[in-house]
Structure 1
């Protein structure tokens, strides 16, 4: 039996109550994903809950503290499939302390309108694209 590696991602929005903008993060590595956009986050450590892992990852990668909102509905019990061995769970999140900066794994951050064309024009990591589409539907007015 194969264990799926749990990855967590933050859909950082300008407001959990009325989200209109999403913070996208541009990757610097690995080479096949460098220059592509994603949800910031990362691997859940052994003994860590998914939510605790997301808080830790966002602090490490962006230097922020967040309040988590709803988890985006996933197509599988493990989350959104990233590859054969990993799946990602994504929560809406609002920054409560700090200003997001690309501290680790990213070289650029950009706030994009959730209902605008710019979000679709970004070169998303292929596995994140269905999550972006689901997020746009989930946050539609």
Structure 2
């Protein structure tokens, strides 16, 4: 049986908003929006991969919170798993694979053209973010 590689995506939350990243490459994905992240390396947990990828791609430190239910097929041999994450330090910048970033409130997540495989996770993340916004302060 072929090994399936996991790609971790980060639904990065900060101040009631979700971070979206616009792809600059490869050409077939350029101009579309995604949840930033990348491939799990051998010996890494999904949480470790997410922290590393967001540091490399965006120059930020994050804290993984929880994995969203489900996984979504990417190209053959790859699946996307998405984790919610809290921005801990830094201001996100498009360092690799992206040319623009934007913060979206739950009611604005459909304002950008998401990659098809990210849409279910974005919908789950937006619901989670909206619920957090409604929760009473601790």
Q: Do Structure 1 and Structure 2 share a fold, with TM-score over 0.5?
A: yes
Give the aligned partner of residue 71 of structure 1: 67
Out of 23, 34, 39, the residue aligned to residue 35 of structure 2 is 39
Partner of 2:20: 24
Equivalent residue, structure 1, for 2:82: 90
2:115 maps to which of 101, 125, 131: 125
Q: Which runs of 5+ in 2 are unaligned?
A: 132-138
Q: CA deviation at 1:140?
A: 3.1
Name the SS of the counterpart of 1:46 in structure 2: coil
For 1:46-57, list aligned pairs within 5 A: 46-57=42-53
Structure holding more helix per residue? 2
Structure 1: stretches of 5+ with no match in the other structure: none
Relative to the length of structure 2, the TM-score reads 0.88
How far has the Cα of 1:71 moved from its partner? 1.2
Alignment root-mean-square deviation, CA: 1.3
Conserved 8 A contact 2:18-2:126: no
List structure 1 segments (4+ residues) > 4 angstroms apart after TM superposition. Answer: none
